[in-house]
């Protein structure tokens, strides 16, 4: 009985902790986990708009949350992740920071290992780091 109660409480507390991005390092860890799992919704989090500079997205304007999630899902679809490393975490000015990820993946049905550098831009809003930009560089 007590085990079920603790398990139920843990299930209630985990989403609160997972959503709390008090530090840029926390945001980087959550982004890495979401990208590795191809969880577009988890990557975007509570951001209302997002600039995507990835193949298949128009980089000229910010996208609404639903559209950004769908474009990220399409971007994830053909890829099989082989590795993802956080290479840089930096707050460039108060309330503004970025995370650099190095990604290794293969396109489904192929064996050629590809590399990509991802730059994730963040803003500190209401004491939480929110993703505002995703840029891809080969």
Question: Where along the chain do its domains lie?
Answer: 22-137
123, 95 Cβ separation under 8 angstroms: yes
Please tell me the distance from the alpha carbon of residue 100 to that of residue 89, in angstroms, as a whole number: 7
Fold designation for 22-137: Nuclear Transport Factor 2; Chain: A, (3.10.450)
Q: Is the pLDDT of residue 135 over 70?
A: yes
Q: What is the pLDDT of residues 69-121, one digit of tens each?
A: 999 999 999 999 999 999 999 999 999 999 999 999 999 999 999 999 999 99
Q: What is the pLDDT of residues 11-31, one digit of tens each?
A: 444 443 344 578 999 999 999
DSSP E strand stretches across 35-95 = 49-53, 63-64, 79-93
Q: What is the pLDDT of residues 36-63, one digit of tens each?
A: 999 999 999 999 999 999 987 777 789 9
């Amino acid at each position: 009985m007590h085990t079920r109660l603790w398990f139920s409480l843990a299930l209630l507390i985990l989403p609160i902790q997972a959503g709390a991005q008090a530090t840029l390092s926390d945001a980087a860890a959550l982004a890495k986990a979401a990208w590795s799992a191809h969880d577009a919704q988890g990557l975007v989090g509570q951001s209302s708009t997002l600039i995507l500079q990835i193949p298949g997205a128009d980089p000229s304007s910010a996208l609404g949350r639903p559209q950004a999630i769908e474009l990220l899902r399409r971007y994830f679809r053909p890829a099989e992740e082989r590795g993802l490393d956080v290479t840089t975490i930096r707050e460039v000015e108060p309330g503004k920071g970025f995370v650099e990820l190095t990604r290794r993946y293969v396109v489904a049905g192929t064996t050629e290992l590809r590399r990509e550098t991802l730059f994730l831009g963040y803003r500190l809003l209401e004491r939480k780091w929110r993703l505002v930009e995703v840029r891809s560089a080969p």
